[in-house]
Amino acid sequence: MEAAAKRCQCQSLRAQDERYQKLAEIIAKHAGESGALIPVLHQAQQVFGYLPHDVQALIAEGLNVPLSEVDGVITFYSLFTSEPQGRYKVGICLGTACYVKGAALVLEELKKQLGIDVGKTSADGLFTLEVTRCVGACGLAPVVTVGDDVYGRLSPEDVPAMLDKYIQAERNGKA
């Protein structure tokens, strides 16, 4: 009885969340199409920001594919994520030039300042830390990207001020 109550509550919350209506429309549009899984996953991730388990299950059911196939595609392609992402994606380049110029030390400072490891999102939901390979700015090594912003020739001492720019923007409603 308790499981049924939780399910009903979850379904009623979904009914109130227009993202699930949009997901149903996306699935309906692609149902029966060969190769529909990746486009549906891409559109669903745009709607939700990531692909939580319940969304994966709805996609599997709607496209009549095994849930294991949906999970396999999500875990295979780095474009997809099943974890919530921060408002700002912080990418540290660990390509050869950046690494030689001290990117590993900058990465350690990013992890310390954000209180997270690579692939995780900060508790406040602002930042997701990622490791990247060459971003094509080797002359600026080591390089960090925050969203579309590029920061070069960074040292660990530069990290707090760089992150504070985004924290302050959030506090002032300028993000």
pLDDT digits (tens, 9 = 90+) for 134-156: 999 999 999 999 999 999 999 99
Domain interval for residue 29: 2-76
- CA 11, 16, 19, 21 torsion-angle sign: positive
Last residue of a domain, one of 76, 102, 129: 76
Burial class from Cβ neighbours inside 10 Å (0-12, 13-18, 19+) for residue 86 reads buried
Q: Is 43 domain-assigned?
A: yes
pLDDT score for 1: 47
CA 44 to chain centre: 13
Rounded Cα–Cα distance for residues 58 and 100 (Å): 46
Q: How many domains does the chain have?
A: 2
pLDDT score of 165 more than 70:
yes
The DSSP call for residue 83 is S
Same domain, 59 and 109: no
Q: Is 8 domain-assigned?
A: yes
Q: Is 82 domain-assigned?
A: no
Same domain, 72 and 110: no
The 10s digit of each residue's pLDDT in 23-55 is 999 999 999 999 999 999 999 999 999 999 999
pLDDT score of 4 more than 60:
no
CATH number at residue 95: 3.40.30.10
Which one, of 112, 113, 92, 89, lies nearest residue 101 by Cα? Answer: 92
Rounded Cα–Cα distance for residues 61 and 5 (Å): 22
Token representation of residue 27: 């699935």
